[in-house]
């Protein structure tokens, strides 16, 4: 078959892990794609009604990051559905200044109570630097998620906060299109970590990566890594068992995610803005994602944003031509911006060895 550099339907490239093309140049990710389905607003309203006006001060908790989807979720739950909300934020040391402003403006405008928390002793930043340094000795797309291990272990704390405040419901704005499809050929992504059926692949890939780069054995906390795989998703068996008294609802399981509606709603009503550092309004809230994009680009030649746009094409949300224009503008991270993120960890661009792969 003639080599194909980019899918004729979406914008995934031939470097995408696990990709194949048919005789028409259409990739297997498009051919096997299952369109997104939602449960409907009526079901969401019924769930929220069950928790409305309970015994506690709050009907629910909403997790906020200052990004677009969590901000929209806060607006919908507090304003449209009139729930009594506690907005909770994990103070990620890599959170952008604009994201912090978005959070403060949103909770102030909506007049909801706000709670934030962080890992003590700068543990998140220190562990991330160690993981990046270990990764740089053998750049691999499969272990890029390791640099985000602290963010992948926040769910137990979120559940405990809800329990401490007597909150029986947590609402999150997780975008159903965000988990990159190509990750399944690696470690699988957060939605697969806890699946027993995925365990053989997970163990096999982990052993293989350790053989190639044993520095992970000494540079990273294996207790934290174990916690990441047990608790990376709110619906992991461990967390469902540990916090049976608390329900988690993902807004976009019930309402179809619509980028234009999300953006218009939060900019018009809450004065939300993206960071001026980057062109994309997606995932700017964590500046470490700038580094992740460069890491994926260097190791597999495709980023999670390209995967997102490809799914949006399949969903009929944007045209392929629009996606091509947007990826060219929005997927670029300048070395100056990336360098500023690394400098907070005492590192510089050359330390990542991105040209080593």
Give the CATH number, domain containing residue 242.
3.40.50.620
Tell me which of 237, 252, 278 is where a domain ends. 278
Q: Among 278, 309, 338, where does a domain finish?
A: 278
pLDDT of amino acid 294: 94
Q: Is residue 313 domain-resident?
A: no
Is residue 106 located within the same domain as residue 245?
Answer: yes
pLDDT of residue 195: 57
Judge if 163 and 239 occupy the same domain.
Answer: yes
Whether 55 and 86 map to the same domain: the answer is: yes
pLDDT at 19 over 50: yes
Residue 345's pLDDT is what?
A: 95
- Mean pLDDT, range 111-139, rounded to an integer: 93
- Both 19 and 129 in one domain: the answer is no
CB 76 within 8 A of CB 68: no
For the residues 109-117, what does the mean pLDDT come to?
98
Higher pLDDT, 148 or 185: 148
- Taking residues 153-180, what's their average pLDDT? 94
pLDDT at 278: 94
The total number of residues written for the chain in this structure = 357
* Pick from 127-131, 137-141, 157-161, 273-277: least confident: 137-141
Average pLDDT over residues 159-175: 96
In this structure, are 26 and 48 located in the same domain? no
Helix or strand or coil: residue 171?
Answer: strand
pLDDT band at 293 (very low <50, low <70, confident <90, very high): very high
2: pLDDT confidence band, cut at 50, 70 and 90?
Answer: very low
* pLDDT given for residue 181 in this prediction: 84
The predicted model gives 106-130 an average pLDDT of: 96
**Per-residue pLDDT at 226:** 73
Domain-embedded: residue 133: yes
Q: Which sign does the torsion angle of CA 144, 146, 152, 154 carry? A: negative
Is residue 17 located within the same domain as residue 98? no
| 173 lies in some domain | yes
CA–CA gap between residue 161 and residue 182 (Å, rounded): 34
For the ranges 122-126, 218-222, 246-250, which has the lowest average pLDDT? 218-222
Please report which residue ranges of the chain form alpha helices under DSSP H. Answer: 28-31, 41-51, 68-75, 97-110, 123-136, 155-164, 199-212, 215-219, 222-231, 237-242, 259-270, 288-299, 304-314, 320-330, 335-343
Domain identity same for 76 and 132: yes
Both 10 and 151 in one domain: the answer is: no
**Domain range holding 71?**
41-278
Q: Smallest Cα–Cα separation from 286: which of 70, 14, 40?
A: 70
Helices then strands (H, E): number in the chain? 15, 5
Task: With respect to residue 347, please indicate whether it lies within any of the assigned structural domains.
Answer: no
Mean pLDDT for all residues in the chain: 89
If asked whether residues 19 and 162 sit together in one domain, one would say: no
Per-residue pLDDT band for 203 (boundaries 50, 70, 90) equals low
Q: Are 295 and 141 in contact (CB under 8 A)?
A: yes
Are 6 and 153 within one domain?
no
Q: What span, in angstroms and rounded, lies between the C-alpha atoms of 264 and 93? A: 28
* pLDDT for 85 beyond 60: yes
333 lies in some domain:
no
pLDDT value of residue 54: 77
pLDDT for residue 140: 85
Query: Is residue 6 scored above 90 in pLDDT?
Result: yes
Q: Say if residue 1's pLDDT is above 50.
A: no
CA torsion angle 158 164 170 173 (round to 10): -40
- 238 pLDDT exceeds 70? yes
Residue 76 belongs to some domain of the structure: yes
Residue 23 shares a structural domain with residue 76: no
- The confidence score (pLDDT) of residue 189 equals 53
Give a yes or no: residue 334 inside a domain: no
CA atoms within 13 A on the CB side of 26: 8
Within-domain flag for 300 = no
Structural domain ending residue among the three candidates 278, 303, 329: 278
- If asked whether residues 203 and 119 sit together in one domain, one would say yes
The predicted structure's pLDDT at residue 258? 96
Asked if the model's pLDDT at residue 285 lies above 90, the reply is yes
Compute the average pLDDT of residues 140-147: 84
Reported as a single tens digit per residue, the pLDDT across 298-357 is 988 889 999 999 999 999 999 999 999 999 999 999 999 999 999 999 999 999 988 755
For residues 133-138, average pLDDT: 89
* Rounded average pLDDT over 256-277: 97
Report the distance separating Cα 126 and Cα 108, nearest Å: 32
Give percent of the chain above pLDDT 70. Answer: 90
User: How many structural domains compose the chain?
Assistant: 2
Section 114-135 average pLDDT: 94
Please check the confidence at residue 221 and state whether its pLDDT lies above 80. no
């Amino acid at each position: 078959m003639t080599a194909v550099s980019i899918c004729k339907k979406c914008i995934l490239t031939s470097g995408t892990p696990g990709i194949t093309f048919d005789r028409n140049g259409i990739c297997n990710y498009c051919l096997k794609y299952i369109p997104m389905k939602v449960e409907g607003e009526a079901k969401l309203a019924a769930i929220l009604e069950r928790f409305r006006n309970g015994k506690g001060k709050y009907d629910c908790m909403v997790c906020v990051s200052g990004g677009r989807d969590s901000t929209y979720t806060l607006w919908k739950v507090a304003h449209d559905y009139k729930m009594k909300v506690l907005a909770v934020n994990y103070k990620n040391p890599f959170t952008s200044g604009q994201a912090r402003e978005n959070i403060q403006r949103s909770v102030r405008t909506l007049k909801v109570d706000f709670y934030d928390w962080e890992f003590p002793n700068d543990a998140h930043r220190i562990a991330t630097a160690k993981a990046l340094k270990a990764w740089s000795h053998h750049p691999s797309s499969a272990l890029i998620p390791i640099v985000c291990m602290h963010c992948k272990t926040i769910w137990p704390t979120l559940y405990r906060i809800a329990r401490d405040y007597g909150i029986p419901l947590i609402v999150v704005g997780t975008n159903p299109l965000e988990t990159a499809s190509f990750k399944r050929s690696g470690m699988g992504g957060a939605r697969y970590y806890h699946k027993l059926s995925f365990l053989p692949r997970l163990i096999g890939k982990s052993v293989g990566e350790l053989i190639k780069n044993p520095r992970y054995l000494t540079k990273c906390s294996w207790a934290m890594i174990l916690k990441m795989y047990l608790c990376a998703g709110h619906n992991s068996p461990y967390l469902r068992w540990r916090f049976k008294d608390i329900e988690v609802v993902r807004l976009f399981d019930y309402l179809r995610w619509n980028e234009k509606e999300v953006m218009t709603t939060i900019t018009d009503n809450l004065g939300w803005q993206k960071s001026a550092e980057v062109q994309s309004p997606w995932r700017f809230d964590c500046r470490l994602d700038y580094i992740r994009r460069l890491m994926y680009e260097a190791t597999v030649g495709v980023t999670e944003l390209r995967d997102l746009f490809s799914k949006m094409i399949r969903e009929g949300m944007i045209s392929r031509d629009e996606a091509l224009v947007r990826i060219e503008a929005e997927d670029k991270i300048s070395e100056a911006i990336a360098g500023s993120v690394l400098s907070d960890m005492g590192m510089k661009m050359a330390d990542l060895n991105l040209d080593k792969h």
